[in-house]
Structures are given as C-alpha cells and as structure tokens.
Amino acid sequence: MASSEENEMYSKQWEGCMEIAVQTARTAGQVIREAFKHEKEVSTKSSPVDLVTETDRLVEDLIISSLREKYPSHRFIGEESSAAGEKCLLTDNPTWIIDPIDGTCNFIHSFPMVAVSIGFAVNKELEFGVIYHCLDENLYTARKGHGAFCNGIQLQVSKETDMSKALILTEIGAKRDPATLKIFSGNMERLLKAQVHGIRVIGSATLALCQVASGAADAYYQFGLHCWDIAAAAVIIREAGGNVIDTSGGPLDLMSRRIVAAGTVEMAHYIAREIQTITYERDDHNAN
Ligand SMILES: O=P(O)(O)O[C@H]1[C@H](O)[C@@H](O)[C@H](O)[C@H](O)[C@@H]1O
Ligand SMILES: [Mg+2]
Ligand SMILES: [Mg+2]
C-alpha cells in the first residue's frame, strides 16, 4: 500500500500535464469562439441529430497534435478520432480523453453553451479534468485529491437529499426512435411526479455536470453520452465533494455511456432507482 507521501509524489507528476491541459483548452476555446460567429459546415455521425462540424475536427487535431508533441508516449481518445474509426481503448498508459466541442448542436445553432473537455487517466484511474466554457470563459479544473475550481474559486456540490427540492439536469442523447423517446420521457415524468423543482436540458453534458459540481444543480443523469463527456467532469464533481455512479447504482463505468451524478449519495441512488435504462453500445465495444 503506497504511503500518502508516495501518492502525493505520484499525483504531483501529473500537475505539469494539467497545466498544459489548461493552456491547450484555452487555445482551443479561442478557435471555437472565433468560429462560433461564422457559418458552420455540418455533417452527421451515428444519427441525423449526432452532428459534427469542421471545427470539431480541426480543434481535436490541434489539441492532440500539440499534446502528442509534448507527450509522445501517451495515448489519446478523442470524440472525432473515434468517429473516424480509432478504437476507444483505455489502457494503463497515461491517456488523454478529449471532447473538442461539447455541445456541437448548440455551436451550430449559436446557442451559447459550448465547452472543450480534456480528461486524463493513468492506470485507468482519472487523475485530472479540465472543462472550458468557451463563451463565458469559465474554466473548471480539478486534480485528484486537490479540490475542484472554477476560475480559481473552489467548488462545492449541493447537499440536497430531498427530491422535492431538487433541480435535475439531463441530456437526450443521439437515439430518437419511439422506444427510446418513450423511456426518456417516462424517466422525466417519474421524476416530475416526485415533485422535483425542475428538469433542464442544456445541450452540453460537460457543462451540465459542471453545474452539479458548482452546486447550481443537484443531480445529472444520462444514457448515451460518451467517455469524453464523462472523464473530466467526473474528476471535477468528485473533487467538489460529489458522487458519480453508474445508472445501476454501482460504480461509474467510464465506457458504459451512462451516468448519474449528484451532490449527495442519497440523491444519486434515488435517481438510479427511479430511471429506466436506455441501452447504447459501449465506447470500447470494438476495442479488443
Ligand atoms: O456531441 P457533443 O460533443 O456535442 O456531445 C453531446 C452529445 O452529442 C449528446 O448526445 C449528449 O446528449 C450531450 O448533449 C453531449 O454533450
Ligand atoms: Mg463533442
Ligand atoms: Mg460531448
């Protein structure tokens, strides 16, 4: 069992990587902010509502090429590289898990909820996360064991355990077939019948998860997001004192495409019990 000093020394070696992640996210945010004002060239991926633009691809290439130059032995999992056929394989190697534009549909519609998300894992453990809201320039950061911050101000999750006092966030995901929509709306209906204060869908999983970390929302749940939506946000929520679990109530499974996050463990498990599963293929379904 490593001593706390050994753990701290181990964790400190990634501090430099996190500083580079912050610089990289800020640079990427500038590119996105500039492109936000202009016409976008839109194409689709897994469904007619799973959208991507030339800026998503450009920004991911910029991020990965600059990181790979600094860290040639590290591995990279990126949303658009994955869409182009690269395998989502999480190994023990230091791995950067990147969503170049989270909220692409918002970006296309010039709806101002757009973020860059950079997560980092070693030995399959999430070490740090950086999420940059490109338009309001809020930078969310967290390194394991060192707290979570937004523009340097420490974050603390909500302590709410009462569902009838909860503000809950979710996202729709890319599947829109009748059976999926029936389960999606059924989940919302069950929570609304539990008299929650409200449910919000803002179109960016990472920024919604940052609202849980900041205490502005009490919980988040989703089926259909990806490891690059989850990785950075999971560290930020945990370091803000929150809980991130699987929708089954078990431990978070980064590649499972499902999540429940909440300020309190009671809230997390209540939601996990209330919601019905929507099945998506795992991110690592073709990795082995
Ligand atoms: O594709 P981007 O990176 O914009 O990520 C979004 C997903 O596309 C949505 O399905 C999902 O529901 C979330 O909105 C997520 O943020
Ligand atoms: Mg994206
Ligand atoms: Mg995303």
| 12 Cα: distance to centroid of ligand 1 (angstroms) | 32
Number of the ligand closest to the Cα of 174: 1
Could you identify the residue written with the tokens 């060239």? 41
- Using CA atoms, how far residue 264 sits from 56, 142, 157, 219, in Å, is 34, 19, 8, 9
CA distance 46 to 52: 10
Residues 6+ apart with CB under 8 A from 85: none
Question: How far is the C-alpha of 45 from the C-alpha of 285, rounded, in Å?
Answer: 17
Residues of the chain with pLDDT under 70: 1-2
CATH of 4-154, one of 3.30.540.10, 3.20.20.210, 2.40.30.20, 3.80.10.10: 3.30.540.10
CA-nearest of 114, 139, 141 to 34 is 114
Q: Where are the domains of the chain?
A: 4-154, 163-274
pLDDT at position 272 = 98
- Give, in degrees to the nearest 5, the angle at Cα 148 between 191 and 4: 120
**pLDDT the model gives residue 1:** 67
Distance CA 176, CA 48 (A): 9
Ligand 1 atom nearest the C-alpha of 52 is: 1
Q: How far apart are CA 24 and CA 48, in angstroms?
A: 30
Q: Output the pLDDT for position 85.
A: 94
Pick among 1.20.950.20, 3.30.450.40, 3.40.190.80, 1.20.1560.10: CATH of 163-274: 3.40.190.80
- Complex ipTM, two decimals? 0.95
Catalytic residue among 79, 80, 218, 253: 79
In three-state secondary structure terms, 131 is: strand
| Domain 4-154 matches domain 163-274 at the CATH topology level | no
pLDDT tens profile 40-97: 999 999 899 999 999 999 999 999 999 999 999 999 999 999 999 999 999 999 999 9
Q: Is 174 in the pocket of ligand 1 (CB under 6 A)?
A: yes
What is the pTM assigned to this prediction?
Answer: 0.96
Residue-level pLDDT at 288: 76
Q: How far apart are CA 275 and CA 117, in angstroms?
A: 26
DSSP three-state, residue 220 = strand
Distance in Å, CA 78 to ligand 3 centroid:
10
Catalytic one of 99, 218, 239, 253: 99
